[in-house]
Structures are given as C-alpha cells and as structure tokens.
Amino acid sequence: MSRGFHFYGSSPPLLFLLLFGVPSSDSPPLHLRLRSGPSHSPSGFLFTPDYESSPSFPDRMGDLAVEKHAEYILSVEKRKDDFESLVMEHLRLNGAYWGLTTLDIMHKMGSVNPDEVVAWILSCQDKESGGFGGNVGHDPHVLYTLSAVQVLALLDRLDAIDVNKVSDYVAGLQNEDGSFAGDIWGEVDTRFSYVAICCLSLLHRLNKINVEKAVDYIVSCKNLDGGFGSIPGGESHAGQIFCCIGALAITGSLHHVDRDLLGWWLCERQCKDGGLNGRPEKLTDVCYSWWVLSSLIMIDRVHWIDKNKLSKFILNCQDLEKGGISDRPDNAVDVFHTYFGVAGLSLMEYPGLKPIDPAYALPVDVVNRIFFQK
C-alpha cells in the first residue's frame, strides 16, 4: 500500500487515477435509481446548492481563474522536457484524463483536437491483451485502461476501440474471491475493484464479471469505523472509501453502507482551514475535496460539511498568475490537483461549471449520453 499511491503519502502525485464511469446495460442507470436532483442537473447525486443564501461565498466565477487554468493545462500538454512532464511520463494517460475532464467541466474543450487525442490513446493500447499502458510502449494496467475509456467517453469516441477486447482484458483481472488485480503482476486493491467496475459499466459489459462476488469482496473490506480499506483489515482512508462507495453505487449496492457512521467519519475530515484530509491527524489537501465530497454525496450526507469553507480553501490554492491548483496554499501546482480542485467545486455546484457525476467522475452530460443514447 505504499508505492506511488498518491493519497497515501505526500510525495509527488501520482498514481491514483481514480477515474470514473457509468452504469451497466442490464441495470438501470445510476441516476435513475436515486432521488432526483436539483433543477439543472440530471444527476440524482447532486445536492441543492446553497450559494444563493450564502453572502460570504466569494464572487462567483470571478474567483475561479478559468482562463488561467485552461492555459496551464494546455501548456503542460505541450511541454515535453521539464520536471512535471518527466514525472508525468509514465502516467500520461491519467494526465490526459485529468486535464481533459477539467477543461470539459470548465467548458474549454474547444481548445482540444479530438482526432489527435484519440490517435495517441489508441497508440497506448497493448494490442495483444487489449489493455492500455500509461504511455506508448508501456505495460497495460487497469488504471490506464479506465483512463483511456474515460477520455474516449469524454470525446464521444468509444467507437474507436474494440469494446469486447478491452472489456475481456478488464474482466480477466477478477480473482476467484471477487477481488481484482491491477495487471498481470497480481497486486490486489479495492482501487482496482472500482476501476474495473467503472470501466466495464462505461462499456456496458458488467455482465462479464461476477458482480455479486465483486461486491462481497468490497464489503469484506469495510471497517468498524464505517470506512473501507484496500484489502480486508486495511485502514480506512478517504481515497479508498471513494473507490468502495463508487463501486457499490455503480452496482446498486449502497445498502451495505452504514451511512451515518461513514458520514460522520468523512465529515470529520474537514479541518479548521476549511480543507479536507484523508485520514485523522493528516494535513489537508485539495485532492480530498474529491474523494470525501463525492463519497458524502453518494451516501447523501454532504450537508454535514461546510461547503463555503471548503470552496474558499480550494480557491486559495490557485496560482492566479500562471494558472493551476496546488495541494495546499502556496505550493506548486500540478494537473492532478487542478483537476480535483475544479471537480470538487463542480460537486459543490460552483457557478458556471458543468456538473460532474460523483460515482463516474465524468461530466453528467457525458454519463447521460452513454446511458441514455447508446
């Protein structure tokens, strides 16, 4: 549970890529199984905004530097030789997901050439297994495979892949006990359960795995504090909780969750500075805005945190000169935290942003396109 696992350490970002997805072809789309949401959003997960009644909330769109952040994301894509690009080399597919989703939420996808992106994504596929690597010539892994599927979904180009080949790769990673390995090396983690379920759901191929066993395995990772770990007995962590709750939501299995107990653990993640941490006694970090908020929304307890304070925390992490968002105020920005900052604000219905689905981590309109117009 150590290496490269971003939300387990303070080291440079990386690895987690929680990317997000959609319901299966044989069960009702997620949002149909939930109560209806606020007026402008089709997602039943979103809560009613309270900005109108909050005079202390900063000046709307003016406070989120949309133009700067879009410029920053596009500039990272163009730089190939600086430190951040080097660090991102092995996870470029994840980076593409983070960057493009952020642009889409901010209504800035017009600056992207979809054909170029699709061609590059296809070049990252391992033709033999059907899985995707983090970059051209890299070994396939379920994490990158989900990123590839998510970006293609975002661009409405899922027709560019052989869906059966890709879904066979993902389904082939399920173990006898219902858990999932990340790749051929066999490491097991509830992150991979989420990623596989999300990916197969987006491809309308959940029927290729044993969903009941997959759910049973995730439930076996539930702790006495209401949270979830990476394996049975593993410590509760906000990132892991997102994965487990997301997977349970997609499979219609949230009845396994003690919402009050888990909601209490999650809302206690908010610290005095308004930001959220991932575990007790840890520092606040913008990326937990996503893991914690999305989980709270899915279990209908998001009103237990102070959204205005969290919004201000995120906005204070912006680099207003060069664009981008950092993990905490005055630190260096990166694409990972820029995505989670903007996505967190979207979950809180920040004015002017597209709503994002908390289980699939894709814009709600993309999720709707996949599940209602297939």
Let me know the angle formed at the C-alpha of 166 by 165 and 167, rounded to the nearest 5 degrees. Answer: 95
Minimum distance of Zn ion from residue 17's CB (angstroms): 13
- Torsion on CA atoms 363, 214, 204, 300, rounded to nearest 10: -30
Q: Is 69 exposed, middle or buried (0-12, 13-18, 19+ CB in 10 A)?
A: buried
CA angle 196, 198, 204 (to 5 degrees): 100
CA distance 371 to 172: 24
Q: How far is the CB of 337 from Zn ion (least distance, A)?
A: 6
Q: Which is nearer to Zn ion, 104 or 327 (CB)?
A: 327
Instruction: Compute the distance between CA of residue 145 and CA of residue 172 in angstroms, rounded to an integer.
Output: 13
Nearer to Zn ion, 11 or 123 (CB): 11
Q: How far is the CB of 328 from Zn ion (least distance, A)?
A: 8
* Residue of this chain nearest to Zn ion (CB atom): 287
Alpha helices in 89-230 (DSSP H): 92-105, 114-123, 142-154, 163-171, 190-202, 211-219
Letters for 338-367 (x = contact with Zn ion by CB under 5 A, - = none) are ------------------------------
Question: Does 334 sit near Zn ion (CB under 5 A)?
Answer: no
Count of residues in contact with Zn ion, rule CB under 5 A: 3
- Binding-site string for Zn ion from residue 257 to residue 286, where x marks contact by CB under 5 A and - marks none: ----------------------------x-
Residue 225: CB minimum distance to Zn ion, A: 22
Residues 63 and 77: their CA atoms lie apart, in Å, by: 24
Amino acid identity for residue 51 in this structure: Y
Of 73 and 287, nearer to Zn ion (C-beta) is 287
Interacting span for Zn ion (CB under 5 A) from 14-22, 55-63, 260-268, 321-329: 321-329
Strand partners, 125: 132
Using CB under 5 A as the binding rule, whether residue 287 contacts Zn ion is answered as yes
202 vs 357: CA distance, rounded Å: 13
Binding part of the chain for Zn ion, among 57-65, 155-163, 172-180, 287-295 by CB under 5 A, reads: 287-295
For 128-146, give the DSSP string.
TT--B-SSTTPPP-HHHHH
The span of 29-37, 310-318, 323-331, 364-372 binding Zn ion (CB under 5 A) equals 323-331
257 or 287: whose CB is closer to Zn ion?
Answer: 287
User: Per CB under 5 A, does 327 bind Zn ion?
Assistant: yes
Taking the CB of residue 180, how many other CB atoms lie within 10 A of it? 27
Nearest distance in Å: CB 285, Zn ion = 4
User: Applying CB under 5 A, which part among 103-111, 143-151, 293-301, 324-332 lies near Zn ion?
Assistant: 324-332
Binding site for Zn ion (CB under 5 A): 285, 287, 327
